[in-house]
């Protein structure tokens, strides 16, 4: 499972319009909310007469806390991140994605469990290909400015725990002992190329896998040599 923090934006409506649209690099299929600061059934955009979603109510609700900050509101208050299962993982249902999104928002401190009416307002959109987009407005409902520190690492921690719990392919690596995190420019470049991760992260993962194979082979060779030595000693 791979998490990415994307470039912040200034317009909630534009992000929602893209996530519910047809897609560019990949086709969006059945876009819908799977989670949010309220139950997704309360927040799902209704359809207009032409069959297209009407984002006006949801946009207004998401942006309401910005008014409390006034001049202290950030210039680009729209946080956007993605979480994607590995290609060989089974499809995760809406229930699993709801929990994953909730865990991310809790651990980043943006919307902790039990404090949904105090933290930021956010939604998670699923539109196929076993991944979700989390969109949050960086203004808390209690009037304080949202603090967003180490969100990349917190998302990585959630990904690692979900991999273990659901028995998914282990790809998440985001801790303090790992290599330097990808820069925002690297993440944006990967997003434009529709890659699940920056090229440098893929290379690091391949190098680590090769190192594990070498250690495994070396351990096997040592075991064979030890066995041969023991057999020779017993024969003599």
CA distances from 22 to 11, 30, 31, 53 (A): 19, 10, 9, 12
**Per-residue confidence band for 186, with pLDDT thresholds at 50, 70 and 90:** confident
CA nearest 92: which of 159, 40, 20, 156?
A: 159
Instruction: Look at residue 179 and tell me whether its pLDDT is greater than 60.
Output: no
How many helices, marked H, and strands, marked E, lie in the chain? Answer: 7, 5
**164: its two tokens:** 């273990």
For the whole model, what pTM was predicted?
0.72
Domain edges within the chain: 2-197, 199-236
| Structure confidence at residue 210 (pLDDT) | 72
Burial 199-224 (b: 16+ CB within 10 A, else e): eebeebeeeeeeeeeeeeeeeeeeee
> Tokens at residue 79, please?
């946080």
The whole-number pLDDT of residue 178 equals 47
Name the more confident of 105 and 173: 105
- Sign of the four-CA dihedral 86, 89, 94, 97: negative
Q: What is the pLDDT of residue 177?
A: 45
Strand 78-84's sheet: what is its strand order? Answer: 2-5, 78-84, 131-137, 121-126, 32-36
| Residue whose C-alpha is closest to residue 162's, from 229, 88, 102, 223 | 102
Task: Report the b/e string of 20-33 with b at 16+ CB within 10 A.
Answer: beebeeeebeebeb
Q: Which of 116-130, 168-182, 195-209 has the lowest mean pLDDT?
A: 168-182
Would you state the structure tokens that stand for residue 131, as one six-digit string?
């991944």
- What is the chain's length? 236
Instruction: Please state which of the four CATH numbers 3.40.50, 3.30.43, 3.30.930, 2.60.120 is assigned to the domain occupying 2-197.
Output: 3.30.930
Task: Indicate the average pLDDT of the chain.
Answer: 84
């Amino acid at each position: 499972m791979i998490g990415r923090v994307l470039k912040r934006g200034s317009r909630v409506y534009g992000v929602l319009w893209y996530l519910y649209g047809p897609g560019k690099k990949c086709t969006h299929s059945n876009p819908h909310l799977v989670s949010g600061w309220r139950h997704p059934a309360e927040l799902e955009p209704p359809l207009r007469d032409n069959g297209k979603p009407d984002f006006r109510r949801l946009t207004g609700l998401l942006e309401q806390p910005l008014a409390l900050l006034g001049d202290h509101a950030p210039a680009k208050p729209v946080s956007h991140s993605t979480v994607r299962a590995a290609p060989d993982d089974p499809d995760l249902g809406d229930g699993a994605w709801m929990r994953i999104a909730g865990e991310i928002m809790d651990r980043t401190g943006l919307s902790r469990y039990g404090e949904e009416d105090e933290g930021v307002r956010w939604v998670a959109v699923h539109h196929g290909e076993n991944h979700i987009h989390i969109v949050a407005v960086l203004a808390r409902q209690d009037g304080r400015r949202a603090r967003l520190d180490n969100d990349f690492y917190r998302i990585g921690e959630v990904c690692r725990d979900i991999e273990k719990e659901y028995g998914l392919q282990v790809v998440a690596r985001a801790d303090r002992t790992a290599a330097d995190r990808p820069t925002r420019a690297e993440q944006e470049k990967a997003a434009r190329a529709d890659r699940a991760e920056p090229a440098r992260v893929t290379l690091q993962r391949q190098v680590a896998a090769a190192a594990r194979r070498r250690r495994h082979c070396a351990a096997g060779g040592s075991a064979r040599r030890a066995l041969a030595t023991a057999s020779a000693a017993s024969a003599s």
